[in-house]
Amino acid sequence: MQYIQKQEIQPDNWDDWFKTANGVRTFDYLKAQNNGSDLKSVREYLIKEQYYLCAYCQSKITIDNSSIEHVIPKSLNLELSTNYHNLVAVCKNQIKDENGRLHCDKEKGSLPIVPYIFYSNSDVNIGVNNNYFRASNDGSIITKDNKNEIEYFQIKSFVDILNLNHTTLKNKRKSAIFTLTSVYKKLSEHQKNVFWITKLNTFLANKSNPYRQFLLIYCQSKRRNKLKQQ
């Protein structure tokens, strides 16, 4: 659920990376995969572009535990299968949750989603909220309810199809929140007043912090509540 800011034009080497052994630029990802294209460089580029976080769940990824994901599935649009603006890096090693489900691309398969990861208003900044999601204390990602029916359904589907409330992900986010609130509880009233804005700034600055977007949303809402009390 992170916001991925793609460059307007594709990277300089993009076409070269998708050339097959006989020097043909392929627009068919499976052909590229089978005919010697440099997909490792593609993946390396995407991982760096996303500050080493999975495009969907924001777990930490490296070259060894990531794969390339087509946001609009290959089966729905072949031309987009090698298009820079449709490719992201995602996490790879996953375990099934108690419902037998995985998460991110492995759970999504060929299902279509609204690509909120490319929508700039899914980003958080000082005083600017994420437009689609809320962060719950138990680590769950919740759909904002001030939406019309269709939008609400699309946002909820995004979370469900990618299974972003997979038990492991939820617990990791919950534990990150717990770390924050444990510190907060021990602070003086004066320190509490600046705690959430300080944390917000920390996560804004650290673009490779796992579950960053969730934590930004969380800190933002805590900060707002604190401001209301003052």
Residue 104 makes contact with Zn ion by CB under 5 A? yes
Nearest approach, Cβ of residue 132 and Zn ion (Å)? 18
**Per-residue contact string for residues 25-54; x = within reach of Zn ion by CB under 5 A:** -----------------------------x
Point out which span in 30-38, 90-98, 195-203, 214-222 binds Zn ion (CB under 5 A). 90-98
Residue 155 makes contact with Zn ion by CB under 5 A? no
Sole binder of Zn ion in the list 29, 45, 52, 56 (CB under 5 A) = 56
Q: Residue 120's CB: how many other CB atoms inside 10 A? A: 8
Dihedrals φ, ψ of 73, to 5°? Answer: -60, 150
Shorter beta-carbon distance to Zn ion: residue 139 or 223: 139
Shorter beta-carbon distance to Zn ion: residue 25 or 170: 170
For the chain, the DSSP string reads: -------SS--TTHHHHTB-TTSPBPS-HHHHHHTT--HHHHHHHHHHHTTTB-TTT--B--GGGEEEEESS-TTT-SGGGG-GGGEEEEE------TTS---THHHHTT-----GGG-GGG--BTTB--SSEEE-TTS-EEE-SSS-HHHHHHHHHHHHHTTTT-HHHHHHHHHHHHHHHHHHHTS-HHHHHHHHHHHHHHHHH-TT-TTHHHHHHHHHHHHHHHHHH-
Nearest approach, Cβ of residue 224 and Zn ion (Å)? 28
Sole binder of Zn ion in the list 53, 91, 177, 219 (CB under 5 A) = 91
Point out which span in 1-9, 78-86, 100-108, 193-201 binds Zn ion (CB under 5 A). 100-108
Point out which span in 57-65, 69-77, 174-182, 195-203 binds Zn ion (CB under 5 A). 57-65
**Per-residue contact string for residues 169-208; x = within reach of Zn ion by CB under 5 A:** ----------------------------------------
Residue 164 makes contact with Zn ion by CB under 5 A? no
Instruction: Check if the beta carbon of residue 152 is closer than 8 Å to that of residue 143.
Output: yes
Residue 68 makes contact with Zn ion by CB under 5 A? no
Residue 57 makes contact with Zn ion by CB under 5 A? yes
Residue 19's identity, in one-letter code, is K
Name the residues that contact Zn ion, by CB under 5 A.
54, 56-57, 91, 104
